[in-house]
Amino acid sequence: MRVIAAIVVASLLAFAGTIQAKPPQTPAQRAAKAESAATPPLTRLPDWAVPESYDLALKSDPSQPGYSGTVTIAVDLKRASNHLWLHGKDLKVASVTVTDARGRTHAGKYVEAAPRAGVARVDFGSTLRPQQLKLKFEFSAPYNQTLQGYYKVVFAGNAYAMTQFEPISARFAFPCFDEPGFKVPMTLSLTVPDADKAVANTGDVKTVAAGMGWKTVAFAPTRPLPTYLYAWAVGPWDIVDGPTIPPNPWRAEPVPVRGIATKGNGDKMQRALAMVPAIIEHEEAYFGFGYPFGKLDLAALPDFSAGAMENPGLVTFRDWLLLLEKGSAPNAVRSTFNVEAHELAHQWTGDTVTTRWWNDIWLNEAFATWMQQKIEGEIHPDWHAHLARIEGGQGAMRSDSLVSARMIRQPITGNGDIQTAFDGITYQKGAAVIGMFENFVGPKVFQQGMQAYIKAHAFGNADADDLVDAIAKAAGKGEAFKQAFKSFLDQNGVPLVATRLDCGAKGGAVLELAQSRYLPLGSTGKPDQLWGVPVCVRFPNGVQCQMLDDKTGTMKIAGGQCPAWYMPNADGNGYYRFEMAKADRVALSKVIAQRDDGEQLVYADAIGAAFQRGALDAGEVLEAMRELAPSKVRQVALAPLGTVEWIYDHEAHTDAQKAAIRGAVTKAYLPRLEALGYQRRAGESADDVLMRSSLASTLGLEFKLPTVRAALLKQGDAALKIGKDGLPNLLAANPDLLRIALAVAVEQNGKPAVDELIAAIPKTTDPVRRNAMLDALGHAQGAEADVVRNFALTPQVKVGEMGMLLMGQRDTVAERDDLWNWFTANFNRIVARTGVFSGGYLPRLAAGGGCSDAEAQRVEAYFKPRLADVPGLPRGLAQTHESIMLCSALKAHQNPASIQ
């Protein structure tokens, strides 16, 4: 009876709110209300009007330029107002009907209050009291052309429509509250042509005829989700069954797995689908929580702005990631597995528990990256996932060394901050920091904290405090631990831990520790930052860990005896760089070849980091290369080459200096490539295949060794011979080297090779072959480079493929000048084709690789007047400008005479 009475009272109050005379307002109240309605919220929507559910019905034919539909949003109006705010962009809203709690309807008005940001206002026509409302919108919209929102792709003559809403593109598709904190269920129905198929987050529950040539497919309601995770796709898809994942202790129902591919490509999905059960079962066991979204579809989309997207029940991928063949290269197979593991990990971190706001997107992406590496290590230990984690952290350190680097928890001041949050800081730095603290408290303890976090916030939202508190509670840690963890989240930069062994200290040997911020030469940053660094040091007798949360500290060495050597970053688990006293470094160098592969990798990184600081010269780097190149661990052997390439491109000015570097590289690496050969060998390891590809690319394309280029050109020329189908005979080359062989052919043969590839790409639908040809075209030189760049702006190149054509050929000043001239002449066309989400990348696309003050000034002068034109440009410009200035400073500091 109380429930019924409460409902009656609430209804009467709501009804009264629609008819009661309103008390007169003071001038100040009227002014405040007018200002509130006139000033759109450009960051977060107010919390006094929140959605409770969506009922979305669309009529969609991908062959047409647009679609139409209705959406009914149940809204909790928490305070009296004559309007509310929500999101919508590029929508034509024909009508808005507001139904109050009593069931009375009001004609609302949809106002595009901030069109560029996609913020809209709905005016009620009168002030409504707090109550439950329903807002029904009738609208239409064009299919998006820049891979955002509900977008359209024509592939192999067939039209497809599909969604990509993360981070803030649901507003392109329908009126909504487009923020992660608004997590509610959606019911979807799609009216589509009879010949097309429709898929969505949930399974279809009913299909009925909807007039001549049309049908309506209704889907089950979703679990509570934010708008960025809603997903659907329409077109002549192949839908193929994969394995069914059986019930287990965490889940009572089986999970059917399906593949969604463009017409004719469904049979290529079985290898990718076969990976899914083991991944899901390992992730369920880790989280102690069954996969919660019923069915699981993996969709290979014909064009896509991201690598993949974790939409629950309908995970979407770039097509080449899922369309594997029996002879697919090992790197392709590993990429597929890792991207699947990443996106499926999101079903827990991101989908089941969703970040409350975009400043904590690391809770989604960093944890999915970390879990992906963990699952890879469990299922494929021979793939050395721990090295990928270390390499990922080191790559993030290069960005994190910039003063302009983002924090993991970067404050959000506008859409540009949201759109630039999906970077190496969020993914790789975040994963490395998680791994560091997992190692510090112990994997089992960390798992207990993760399980508690998932269960406490399932189907809701969380923030960084929730996660850190859960880990601290499981580990029995207090505020000092929490502050240490947050010190890596709430400030940018890489800690530099300086170490010195003191064997004469009273009470036994100690290791003196001091921390500062790692800064490359020329940086304007300040070194006096503090972190709570979990420093773990390997000594000959074992590993010791200690939290360094002051400027200096002392680690007492167990047993008190002076060790013969030590490694400041045991197993490479720490997200920090180290600087050893010279005698200590010499001692470590004598045993580094006997250390495990992770420690060898961080040692190699320390060499490059010291060079970037100006502490080592080119000669010392080349000597380190000679020491590390013989390593049996592929990643360690190749680690010095990035720094050596920089020396070759920017420091070696004379033919003699370049010849000296080529000679050192030839002696260190060419025998290894020649031993591997240029063709696949029966029974060879995947690691050998990957080493062959890496060496062929570096020696053939970067250092241009004649013998390597001759072998690759032979394969490239064979691949370019026209076959019976009128297309290049790409199968004539080793598939592992196809991209590299074609690139050499483009560099050597010029226009004939460029013309042939440009003619072949529109006729080629296989994504792996397209990628190889497109990547090769990125190596076009001289006048042909502009031909290729212009080709990138045509419909024959997918939007998601443009980067392969535009990021190459920038090693020399002349090449960068040519690229700059083309870019500035075509800036508006580039923005129009790539959309606003390219903003953070445009300065790097235009000027990345620059290494002079003049180039830095040029990029700043060009983009500064345009900073308000495209979201994300300010951060992209700051980072590109700073990178160029640092390169210029290092070039001025280094002495080419040291090259020998």
* Residue at 703: amino acid letter: F
Give the pLDDT band (50/70/90) at residue 15. Answer: very low
Helix (H, G, I), strand (E, B) or coil at 96: strand
Judge whether residue 40 has pLDDT over 80: yes
- Band of residue 585 on the pLDDT scale cut at 50, 70, 90: very high
- The neighbouring-strand residues paired with 502 are 510
Could you read off the pLDDT of 160-200 as tens digits, one per residue? 999 999 999 999 999 999 999 999 999 999 999 999 999 99
- Amino acid 495: pLDDT: 98
368 phi/psi in degrees, rounded to 5 = -65, -40
Q: What percent of the chain has pLDDT over 70?
A: 96
Residue 79 burial (CB count, 10 A): 11
Please report the pLDDT score of residue 837 as a whole number.
65
User: Which whole number is the average pLDDT over 643-666?
Assistant: 96
Can you tell me the distance from the alpha carbon of 219 to that of 205, in angstroms, rounded to the nearest whole number?
5
Predicted pLDDT of residue 808: 87
Q: Which of 642, 628, 562 is nearest to 595 (CA)?
A: 628
User: Is the confidence at residue 436, as pLDDT, over 50?
Assistant: yes
Residues whose CB falls within 8 Å of the CB of residue 346, separated by 6 or more in sequence, listed in order:
310, 364, 368
Q: What is the mean pLDDT of residues 417-441?
A: 96
As a whole number of angstroms, the distance between CA 699 and CA 718 comes to: 20
Task: Tell me what pLDDT residue 16 has.
Answer: 32
HSE, CB side, 13 Å, CA atoms: give it for residue 294. Answer: 13
Whether 894 has a pLDDT exceeding 60, the answer reads: yes
Asked if 58 contacts 67 with a C-beta cutoff of 8 angstroms, the reply is yes
pLDDT at residue 327, rounded to an integer = 86
CA dihedral 21, 22, 27, 30 (to 10 degrees): -130
pLDDT in tens, 814-832: 999 999 999 999 999 999 9
Whether residue 378 is predicted with pLDDT greater than 90 in this model: the reply is yes
Q: What ranges make up the beta strands (E) of 372-493?
A: 460-462
- β-bridge pairing 186-193 and 49-60: parallel
Residue tagged 């019976």 (tokens):
724
Region 334-356: what's the mean pLDDT?
A: 98
Q: How many CB atoms lie within 10 A of CB 65?
A: 9
Task: Please give the mean pLDDT across all residues of the chain.
Answer: 94
pLDDT of residue 19: 31
Digit-coded pLDDT (tens) for 275-332: 999 999 999 999 999 999 999 999 999 999 989 999 999 999 999 999 998 889 999 9
Q: Which of 305, 173, 187 is nearest to 228 (CA)?
A: 173
Per residue in 707-721, pLDDT (tens digit) is: 999 999 999 999 999
Position of tokens 């021979």? Answer: 382
pTM of the complete model: 0.93
Whether residue 771 has pLDDT greater than 90: yes
Residue 22's pLDDT band (boundaries 50, 70, 90)? very low
Q: Which two tokens stand for residue 693?
A: 């590809």
Q: Which residues pair with 568 in a beta bridge?
A: none
38 — pLDDT class (breaks 50, 70, 90)? confident
Backbone angles phi, psi at 211, to 5 degrees: 100, 170
Looking at the predicted structure, is the pLDDT value of residue 7 above 60? Answer: no
Residue 417's pLDDT is 93
- Size (the chain), residues: 900
Q: What is the mean pLDDT of residues 549-574?
A: 96
Residue 357: per-residue pLDDT? 98
Residue 886: pLDDT band by 50, 70, 90 thresholds?
very high
Q: Rounded to an integer, what distance in angstroms lies between the CA atom of residue 236 and that of residue 254?
A: 27
